[in-house]
Amino acid sequence: MKQFYSETIGTFTMIFCGCGAMTINEITNGSISHVGVAITWGLIVMAMIYAFGEISGAHFNPAVTIGFAFSKKFPWKKVPLYIVAQGVGAIFAVFLLWFLFPESQFLGETTPALGFPPYKAAILEFLLTFFLMLVIINVSTGSREIGTMAAIAIGGVILLEAMFAGPMTKASMNPIRSIAPALFTGNFQYLWLYILAPILGAISAVSSCKLVKDDKCC
């Protein structure tokens, strides 16, 4: 159960800070800025890996958990438990943001930029998660994101991708991070792409590692 609690608390903290930065940026007319939001996401992921990497592996993302399971580094039987834990943490985080900032219309929700077609947003989210999982699978120990290298590399790539892709898709790379705000805003129109694209991107990244590493690497 310690792994369950770790994934719940870690995901809660990550979503509360990341979506919280987006929410406060919204209601204060950009006081945090796009760059500030990207930095917030990168730093909170880095901090949570340091905090919980040795306990649960610090997945905080169903796509990452499924990617590790697909690589045979994580048991499939634990996947539902991890996803439930991540869901509980993410939903409670957005609920708290909804309670604290009722004037917010978006609560950090993920939607494609105005005029950016959904299929292009899906491709971009696929690639973003592919790059993220490629880094994760190469710096993790088994299915655990632990140590200085993992925290800095993973937090850094999230900051980087949020920085350049955030304006177009909000750079979700995480199904539960997109699902939680949608439950409160009621905007489910584009949710399909934020669920499918990250999962397919993570699986593809795991498959691609065999092209450059030993066949038994993942």
Q: Which domains does the chain have, with CATH numbers?
A: 2-212 (1.20.1080.10)
Name the band, by pLDDT with cuts 50, 70 and 90, for residue 216: low
Q: Are 181 and 109 in contact (CB under 8 A)?
A: yes
Mean of all residue pLDDT scores within the chain: 94
143 vs 129, higher pLDDT: 129
* 90-142 confidence digits (pLDDT tens): 999 999 999 999 999 999 999 999 999 999 999 999 999 999 999 999 888 87
Which whole number is the average pLDDT over 153-159?
A: 97
Q: What's the confidence (pLDDT) of residue 149?
A: 86
Q: Please classify residue 80 by burial: count the beta carbons closer than 10 Å to its beta carbon, then call 0-12 exposed, 13-18 middle and 19+ buried.
A: exposed
- Three-point CA angle 108, 67, 203, nearest 5°: 95
Main-chain dihedrals φ then ψ at residue 141, nearest 5 degrees: -100, 105
Instruction: Of 139-143, 164-168, 185-189, 191-195, give the lowest mean pLDDT range.
Output: 139-143
- The number of angstroms, rounded, from the C-alpha of 143 to the middle of its chain's C-alpha atoms is 16
Q: How many residues does the chain have?
A: 218
Name the band, by pLDDT with cuts 50, 70 and 90, for residue 215: low
Instruction: Evaluate if pTM is beyond 0.85.
Output: yes
* DSSP annotation of 114: T
Q: What percent of the chain has pLDDT over 90?
A: 87
CA dihedral sign, ordered 135, 141, 142, 145: negative
Which whole number is the average pLDDT over 39-46?
A: 98
Nearest-angstrom CA–CA distance, 63 and 42: 18
